[in-house]
A and B are shown apart, each in its own frame.
Chain A
Amino acid sequence: MNSADLVAIWLTLKLALVVTVVLLLIGTPLAWWLARSRRWFRPVVEAVVALPLVLPPTVLGFYLLLLLGRSGPLAPLLSWLDLTLVFSFGGLVVGSVIFSLPFVVNPLKNAFQEIPAGQLEAAATLGAGFWDRFFTIVLPLARAGYLTALVMGFAHTLGEFGVVLMIGGNIPGETQVLSIALYDHVEQLDYARAHVLAAGVLVFSFVALTALYLSGRGRQLMRL
């Protein structure tokens, strides 16, 4: 494995880690709201969250490129914040977060829905405030959902291609992630280097999913 591949692998792991952390932070309140709200527009929000499941990643990447680009509607805000999101690591994070959102939100939503409202009401009448209830009742009871969300968010971010290519391009050390490096090798008919990367991802994904199913939490995967 040469250093360019190592850089791509390191970048991919960093991206997956950052994206997973961001997803858990955003996904928790979003999943909580989806699990508990009875507002009429909840199905609309659910559909938006689930869109990445069915959209070709290039469609998502294309619109993100337009949205975040220099002449996009968010350009004034981004330049005021001094942020460049197109063809940068930051852009990859934004794109990946949106792309992997349902893989984190749905397991969490399912886990939250399985906690009976009565449990939380009992905790409230026993003197536990909102955050107290969250940390002492919700988190322990939703542990399986968090494990699933963590594995799925991380593994799905590792494997993405279309969104990354559209919004990040192919800049080594900045936006060239593992899947794109792999694509490069195949383009150049360098199958030996392609094998190293491809087999690595295959083995990692297989091990992660096996571990998840072994822990008995895999059933939640299919309930997206």
Chain B
Amino acid sequence: MTALSGNLRLTRGMFALDAGLEVAETGITTVCGRSGAGKTTLLRCIAGLEPQVQGRLQAGEALWLDSARNFCLPPERRAVGLVSQDAHLFPHLDVSANLLYGQRRIRGRAARVQLDTVVATLQLADLLHRSVQGLSGGERRRVAIGRALLTSPRLLLLDEPVAALDGPGRREVLDGICAALDALAIPCLYVSHDLHEAARLAQQMLWMDAGRIVASGAAGEVLCDPRLPFAQAEDAAAVVEATVIEYHSRLFLSRLRFEGGELWAAVGDAPAGQKLRVQIAARDVSLATVRPQQTSVLNVIECEVVEITAVADSPAHALVRLSAGATGLLARVTWKSVAELQLAPGGRLWAMVKSVALLN
């Protein structure tokens, strides 16, 4: 089941959008790509703000676009929430009137989202009776997100909601988004420039280039795809979904299980059963063809080599894509090591992970 599926085509001057799209029923799908790749245009087409768009768009039961039959549902009839880069709060209304603007206009569907939930998760209680003029950037974004959520959308579209925000404001907005989406179970398409932000939030990821969606899938897979800039970046990292098995208070370390093995990591004292998302940087992974003994490295994971590719910014290095069970990992090692260890796709080896970072 998908929240949204279809294909969209739009030509504007030199730019052409041609995107086949499937958005999962739950969780956050991040949309990444260089500026000018068409991320914002994609969101605008989904929201119905680009009437010239061709193609077809199906949101669950509802048909939003079928250009073959000359059908294009206007934005006000689509159950979609859009928060653009500028929050576009209504200056003549106070915060609570802004929040309720969309909720009062829900047509033909239940108001699943309650004001209380939105106010609590996005921490808007202190803002409700304020004028929108005095709000900070982070506050404006949170109000805009709350306003969109209160329309009980089938899908939330966020266009770089934390761009141009400072550290604390950014953190508040991101925490609010995660809390609200968790509480409301609304799927979300999230445009982001920032690799770290995308890795932290995404269950699914899309990569756009020149108007096309060139890669899509589970976040773990997309982040490890060597053809995409994520894996090519100097700070490339794999994302691992893990569950806490136990916390050793004497060691200040937790034992985590993921699909493909176990990890020791200093990730605080999260209780057993807690789901965590951790990140393993490619440059923190060393490879060995025999199981290393007597090493200070805590995490030694048995893996299979999936593929070995060049790294664009460094001719000395190779990017080795590994699979540990169902989990993808990346290792950035020299070509010299690749030759000496005689690494080749299909080969089994041991990945020594020097550092594990908590993402959320």
Other-chain residue from B76, B86, B148 in contact with A129 (beta carbon distance below 8 A): B76
How many whole Å from A13's CB to the nearest CB in chain B? Answer: 32
Chain A residue at smallest Cβ distance from B87: A122
Most chain-A Cβ atoms within 10 A of its Cβ — which of B47, B78, B105, B106?
B105
Is B335 interfacial (CB 8 A cutoff)? Answer: no
Tell me if B84 and A118 are in contact (CB < 8 A): yes
Q: Is the CB–CB distance between B92 and A141 below 8 Å? A: yes
- Residues on B with C-beta less than 8 A from A44 are none
CB-contact partner of A125 in B81, B86, B90, B106, under 8 A:
B81
Q: Is the CB of B76 within 8 A of A127?
A: yes
Residues of A within 8 A of B352 (CB): none
**Contact, CB under 8 Å: A126 / B101:** yes
Q: Which residues of B contact A (CB under 8 A)?
A: 47-49, 74-78, 80-82, 84, 86, 88, 90-92, 101-102, 105-107, 144, 147-148, 151
B75 → chain A closest CB, angstroms: 4
Given A119-B90, A141-B91, A141-B92, CB of A125 within 8 Å of CB of B47:
yes
Interface pairs (24), CB distance under 8 Å = A116-B88, A118-B84, A119-B88, A119-B90, A121-B47, A121-B49, A121-B75, A121-B88, A122-B88, A122-B144, A123-B90, A124-B74, A125-B48, A125-B76, A125-B81, A125-B82, A125-B148, A126-B105, A127-B105, A127-B106, A128-B101, A128-B105, A129-B74, A141-B92
Chain A residues within 8 Å of B82, by CB = 121-122, 125
In the complex, chain A residues whose CB is within 8 Å of the CB of B92 = 140-141
B105 engages A118 (CB within 8 Å):
no
Chain A residues, CB < 8 A from B101: 123, 126, 128, 136
- Across-interface contacts of A18 in B (CB, < 8 A): none
Residue pair A124, B75 in contact (C-beta under 8 Å): yes
CB distance from B191 to the nearest CB of A (A): 15
CB of A132 within 8 A of chain B?
Answer: yes
Asked if A137 lies at the interface with its beta carbon under 8 angstroms from chain B, I say yes
Q: Which residues of A contact B148 (CB under 8 A)?
A: 125-126
In the complex, what distance in Å separates the CA atom of A60 from the CA atom of B82?
50
Q: Of B48, B90, B144, which one neighbours A137 at CB under 8 angstroms?
A: B90
5 further A-B contacts with Cβ under 8 Å, apart from A121-B75, A123-B90, A124-B49, are A118-B84, A121-B88, A122-B84, A126-B151, A132-B76
> Which residue of chain A lies nearest to B49 when distances are taken between CB atoms in the complex?
A121
In terms of DSSP, what is the predominant structure of the interface of chain A?
A: helix
What chain A residues lie within 8 Å of B107 (beta carbons)? 127
Q: Do B105 and A121 have beta carbons less than 8 Å apart?
A: no
Q: Which of A90-146 contact B (CB under 8 A)?
A: 116, 118-119, 121-129, 132, 136-137, 140-141
Which residues from chain A contact B48 at a C-beta distance below 8 Å? 124-125
| A124-B49, A126-B147, A127-B105 known; A118+B88 contact, CB < 8 A | yes
**What 4 A-B pairs have minimum CB-CB distances, sorted nearest first?**
A127-B105, A126-B102, A124-B75, A122-B88
Give B91's nearest chain A residue, CB to CB: A141
Kindly state the separation between the CA atoms of A140 and B91 in the bound complex, as whole angstroms.
Answer: 10
A124 vs B47: C-alpha distance when bound (angstroms): 9
Return chain B residues, CB-CB under 8 Å to A132: 76, 105
Q: How far is the CA of A127 from the CA of B107 in the complex (A)?
A: 8
Which chain A positions have C-beta within 8 A of B76? 124-129, 132
Chain A residues closer than 8 Å to B47, beta-carbon distance: 121, 125
Give bound CA distance, A64 to B144, whole Å: 52
CB distance from B147 to the nearest CB of A (A): 7
Contacts of B74 in A (CB 8 A): 124, 129
- Contact yes or no, B91 A125, CB < 8 A: no
In the complex the two chains form, what is the Cα distance from A129 to B101 in whole Å? 12
A37 to chain B, nearest CB (A): 15
B contact residues around A140 at 8 Å (CB):
92
Q: How far is the CA of A166 from the CA of B291 in the complex (A)?
A: 104
Within the complex, the shortest CB–CB distance from A141 to chain B, in Å, comes to 6
- Output the least CB separation between B137 and chain A (Å): 16
**A118 contacts across to B, CB distance below 8 A:** 84, 86, 88
A141 to B91, CA, bound (A): 8
Chain B residues with Cβ under 8 A from A141's Cβ?
91-92
Minimum Cβ distance to chain B for residue A132 (Å): 7
For A125, list chain B residues within 8 Å (CB).
47-49, 75-76, 78, 80-82, 102, 148, 151
Question: With the chains together, A136 CA to B97 CA distance in Å?
Answer: 11
Q: Which residues of A contact B78 (CB under 8 A)?
A: 125
Give the nearest-CB partner of B75 in chain A: A124
Asked if A121 contacts B84 (CB within 8 A), the reply is yes
* Chain B min CB distance to A134 (Å): 13
Q: Once the chains are docked, how many angstroms separate the CA of A127 from the CA of B150?
A: 11
